[in-house]
Chain A
Amino acid sequence: MSTDHASAQAERIDTGAQRLEELAEELGATVGRSAGSWIGPDAEAFRAEWSSTAQALRTGTQELLARSAELSRHRDEQDTASEGDGQAGASGTDGGSDTTTGSSAQDGPNAPGEDAYYGEVDPEVVERWESMSREDREAVARAIIEEELAQYGLEDVPVDFDLTGSNGWWEVSDGAHSISINGDRLDTPRLLHTLAHEARHAAQWEAVQDTESGFWDWLPGVDSTADDYERLEEEHGFTREEIDSWREHFDTPKDERGPYLDQSIEVDARNAGAEVSEELTMEDLDRYEELAGVG
């Protein structure tokens, strides 16, 4: 999260706290006025219950203000740290395009400013892949994408092979992901990379959504943002810095993002794709063929 982002969040929390306080006051006045026109046991019970509800609202307001102050403190600390080492860092502070290309990508052969690396595929796998018919390749490719998505808990994502031009395409619309692969280029084993690459973009988006700050994070029984970051790191190895750099990317208008090859989501997806390409064995391919019902 950038410090600009943190400031905006703190401001919104303050606004929310203020609104909550106003609502409590308005409701309290309404309840008080009801004493003149609403009498009886039910009315007495309601007013007694309102008293404890009003206390909970006041506590909630105080909790919100405390959270806001904590967020502001973290923001100031981050600003100080960034000034100290002279680097904007992955989460950035200037809101400019460079902040989307930070050093937050997962460890791997790709890094901002470096030549793109897509992975070397086992020669035996290459030979098998190149000898498959297009229909078989598509079926196996679909199985690979589905397995990649499944490890992130994503299912029923439409996949087609109708893309022309570029190698792959991921998009999410109204919460629904879809992936399109260039079927005319699927004959090259280089596109094994693309299958995992596009699935990774879906995972990046979900990770960003999972760690969005929620207004009610402070309520008992609701996961905190910190818990979500921790869970995602434990389950998928996504660090907080990585996720925040992806968020910043998605939040940045397209024409203000940094160079395509250096964008945080691209560097990370290239690393994910390279890893899958390099680790794909003949046994894996056998299994995917079986899953796809070919071979």
Chain B
Amino acid sequence: MTPSPSRRSLLGASVLPAALSLVGCGSLRGGGDEPSQDPVTADGPGETEPAASPDRCLSAEDAARRDRPTPPPREEAGPENEAIPDRPLSEHGLALFADGERIAAQQTSDALMLGDSDTYGTVVWSTADGTILDRLDNGLVGAIATDSRGRLAIGGVTTVEIREEDGEVLRTLTGGEEPFGPGIGKRVSDLALTSDGTRLVVLGADGRVTVWAVDGDTCEIEHELAADLGPAIAFSLSPADGTLAVCAEDGTVELWDPQAGTRTGTGPEVPGTVAGLAHAADGTLIVCTDGERAVHALDPSGTLTSGPELTSSGPYRVAAGAGGRVAVVGAGDNRVLLWEREADGTTELPVVRGSVGRLVFSPDGGTLYGASPSQGVIAWSGGDSWRTFETP
């Protein structure tokens, strides 16, 4: 408030000792037992339960009975339920099918909350013309992964689904009831299916990295990786040899064999704090560093190449594509940097309106797809603009 000769300042000076001797200091509020030591807050994420990684596999019957989360009644809505208009897509999930002809991303629950949509969760588009092919309406808005057989792994907050190419649910992993809330921040933030399809690696909302055996009738946690590192922020599974690179909150990178559950090495020594990573098809590990902002590439022979400086701060979304292409964007940013490693060239792609999250290259590396919260699925194939897909 505007400074004034208020009673507060007066009470704080000459009269205060006398007042203290009578009825206690300062205010006469409520029951007189204020103030509390706890901070006073208004709105914020205080009411939601901490999210847990999936820890069990639902039976087929239970999985079939699972309903997607629904908005709470108005009187129970909290700040986590405040929807934002014109924000159709989650920045967390984007995965291209192996044939390159379809791409999956996550429709947010904002439109549902605002009464502008009847569905939310995973949506599949045609990459040829950007039209929507399928809406799974599964209420999951975390990471997505695909495998060579066309299977999808789809993350929510506490839930991961594994679906066949045709959408049939094969498995549902759960760590508790899947909450509803456009503003719930922590989600399953990375998923990867091993090339043989027998393992699923999950980076849960609590930062734990778990390896699930999902072969045949088996559906159980096989290993927890890098638990000593504390919460992980990202991982990347090498398509070349199956090595899993895990990045912790403090920037530490460790290499793991997810099948055996053993640590096989550490990440490259680079200046700054690693805050994003990806693998190229040949196994080259791309790491992006904050602090000393830059992109680096560690090829399978152990040669480290440093690329361009980054203009934005981390954490970073990183994609590696054919032809040595690397795309990077900072969280919540709209400037995507393209590093062509073979030509050692750098291009700042056209500015995305709003921001762009998860990035993925087409199989030939010629097109970069992005999950933009406000623009939806977008694609850049050269030129000075992004192509936008049908809005879910």
Contact = CB atoms under 8 A, between A and B. Distances in A.
Contacts of B333: 133-135
Interface string B161-188: 0000000000000000000000111100
Contacts of B334: 130-134, 187
A168 B32 contact: no
A9 B332 contact: no
B231 to A, nearest CB: 12
Contact of A201 (B42, B77, B184, B186): B42
Nearest to A115: B74
A230 B186 CA distance: 45
Contacts of A251: 29-30, 34
A186 B85 contact: no
B362 interface: no
Given A8-B31, A166-B183, A215-B22, A223 B5 contact: yes
Contact of B74 (A154, A247, A261, A266): A261
B80 A166 contact: yes
A213 B28 CA distance: 6
A195 interface: no
Given A153-B2, A205-B40, A184 B332 contact: yes
A46 B361 CA distance: 91
Interface stretch (B55-63, B221-229, B350-358, B363-371): B350-358
Interface string A159-194: 000011111111111000000101111111010000
A185 B10 CA distance: 43
A152 interface: yes
A203 B1 contact: yes
Interface residues of A, number: 77
Interface residues of B, number: 65
A69 interface: no
B32 A12 contact: yes
Contacts of A269: 42-43
B45 A165 contact: yes
A182 to B, nearest CB: 8
B354 A259 contact: no
A266 B23 CA distance: 33
A286 B269 CA distance: 43
A188 B87 contact: yes
Contacts of A133: 311-312, 333-335
A246 to B, nearest CB: 10
Interface string B61-82: 0000000000000111111101
Find the residue from B48, B76, B78, B185 having the highest chain A CB count within 10 A.
Answer: B185
Given A135-B312, A187-B374, A214 B45 contact: no
Nearest to B42: A201
Given A20-B22, A187-B373, A232-B1, A170 B41 contact: yes
Contact of A169 (B34, B44, B77): B44
A1 B271 CA distance: 58
B307 to A, nearest CB: 20
Nearest to B75: A259
Contact of B48 (A15, A134, A165, A231): A165
Interface string A133-154: 1110000000000000000111
A270 to B, nearest CB: 10
Nearest to B375: A130
B343 interface: no
Interface in A14-48: 15-16, 19-20, 23
B322 interface: no
Contacts of B75: 259, 262
A235 interface: yes
A266 B78 CA distance: 11
B77 A259 contact: yes
Contacts of B335: 133
B311 A165 contact: no
A265 B31 CA distance: 21
Interface in B1-30: 1-8, 10-11, 15, 18-19, 21-23, 26-30
A167 B32 contact: no
A210 B15 contact: no
Given A169-B41, A170-B42, A269-B42, A212 B332 contact: no
B333 to A, nearest CB: 4
Nearest to A184: B332
Interface in B301-348: 311-313, 330-335
A127 B374 CA distance: 12
14 contacts: A12-B32, A16-B22, A130-B354, A134-B330, A152-B1, A163-B45, A173-B38, A185-B332, A190-B84, A207-B1, A210-B1, A215-B28, A228-B6, A265-B42
Given A166-B45, A222-B10, 13 more contacts: A9-B28, A164-B186, A165-B80, A166-B79, A187-B334, A188-B86, A190-B84, A206-B1, A210-B8, A216-B19, A217-B7, A222-B15, A266-B43
